[in-house]
Amino acid sequence: MLLRGYGTAGPWGWLTLLLVACTAWASEITFELPDNAKQCFYEEIVRGTKCTLEFQVITGGHYDVDCRLEGPDGAVLYKEMKKQYDSFTFTASRNGTYKFCFSNEFSTFTHKTVYFDFQVGDDPPLFPRENRATALTQMESACVSIHEALKSVIDYQTHFRLREAQGRSRAEDLNTRVAYWSIGEAIILLVVSIGQVFLLKSFFSDKRTTTTRVAS
């Protein structure tokens, strides 16, 4: 699978393009999406090919992003606004370049980290004879079962890592907020304590001045 990316993310866009170029053989990519930015990817797909797009926002803001998938003729196949994660499966109706974009243009100061997995077609058979009329041997059937089980394990591991990264981001963000809140409370307590001291001093100062005036 060959993905080509294009976006309006400034210097981050070049970094994403470099990441895509270095991992063009892979169907899973994690990239940074700055605020007020849009990143698009392109894929040449043959008619009748089954494809699946799955994405998830790992870090940033409310963990949401806009996603849009278009066909070669510009028809919108999939469109979701401010989505945290989703999966969409479709069959290509014609040959051509399909385009899917992730947008963070609604965010003014928060950048996002987005993961997506774009699968085109089915995996090739583990044994060439799987597509033939001859039956597989017991060893080959066991290998196929193990292969499918390992693929499921890889998918589960990927989802668990994404959840771990998202949970860690939330925990770090909460820790930062708690730290700032604690500092704010400490400053408020300090100001209140100093204010109480000056307030008490003003009471005694007024009493002393009144006593002096009476004695005179």
Return the SS3 of 111: coil
Closest CA to 116 of 75, 149, 68, 151: 68
Question: Containing H/E element for 208?
Answer: helix 138-215
Q: Average pLDDT, stretch 112-140?
A: 73
Matching residue, tokens 């797009």: 53
Annotation: CATH topology of 25-124: Jelly Rolls (2.60.120)
The DSSP code for 128 is: G
In tens, the pLDDT along 169-195 reads 788 888 988 999 999 999 999 999 898
Amino acid at 152: S
The structural domains of the chain, with segments of one domain joined by +, span: 25-124, 137-203
Enumerate the β-bridge partners of residue 189. Answer: none
For residue 127, the model assigns a pLDDT of: 64
Has this prediction a pTM greater than 0.85? no
In tens, the pLDDT along 16-74 reads 333 333 333 346 888 889 888 899 999 888 898 888 899 989 888 888 899 999 999 88
CA–CA distance, 157 with 3 (Å, rounded to integer): 23
Q: How far is CA 188 from CA 90, 110, 195, in A?
A: 57, 29, 10
